[in-house]
Amino acid sequence: MKPIMFFLIIMFVFFSGSCKKDSETKLFDKNLKVEEFIILLKAGTYTSDNLPDFLPEDIPGLLNHGNDFTIIPYFPTNDICSFSLFQYRLGECILWVIESIRLKYPYQSLYSRFPSCVPMLINNEFIDDAKKNPGTDPVKYRLKDTELKSAYDKYLEWWDKNNQNKFDEFKSTNPLDGLKIFWY
């Protein structure tokens, strides 16, 4: 009996000591501000597997960073998707957060926040090529920075045109209408 009790105590100490506290990692902080989020992303210290609890009122602050295509080391992605990126661009990720607010607010759960698999905008050409060649790599169709700038401009135009209205009245309007791109 003593060896089992000793083993359980050792396991408890090991596992409780190896877990990071939410305050250390900023795991899903409902009070996380946009600027703090950006700082954490750029520093590579945002480690949550979830998107922050941002509201429609946070969109202007997010748009301030939507055209910054700095490479960042990590960004949370949808766990149900088997595809993963090895390079994240800050502005593309920020536009994806705005897309999350647009499509998913009010949030039903932590995991319902992701608007697609990963924060990657790709050309519609991918669809035709993937039908012909099922193993087609979507990264090949990822937007270049200049094309991302056009997507950013569309989100900015969408917000500027509609922000005086109630969010529920315009959240179903797709900012990317007219562009031949989509979120992967």
pLDDT at 24 over 90: no
**What are the residue ranges of helices labelled H in the chain?**
2-18, 22-25, 34-43, 59-63, 90-104, 125-132, 145-162, 167-170
pLDDT tens digit sequence for 166-175 = 999 999 999 9
Average pLDDT over residues 132-146: 93
Domain extents in the chain: 26-183
For residue 111, name the pLDDT band (cuts at 50, 70, 90). low
User: What is the average pLDDT score of the chain?
Assistant: 85
pLDDT at 7 over 50: no
Say what the pLDDT of residue 17 is: 41
Average pLDDT over residues 55-72: 97
Q: Give the residue from 44, 48, 16 showing the smallest Cα distance to 32.
A: 48
pTM exceeds 0.85 for this model: no
Q: Which residue has the higher pLDDT, 110 or 145?
A: 145
Residue 155 contacts residue 95 (beta carbons within 8 Å): yes
Question: What is the separation of C-alpha 9 from the centre of its chain, rounded to a whole number of angstroms?
Answer: 39
3-state secondary structure of 142: strand
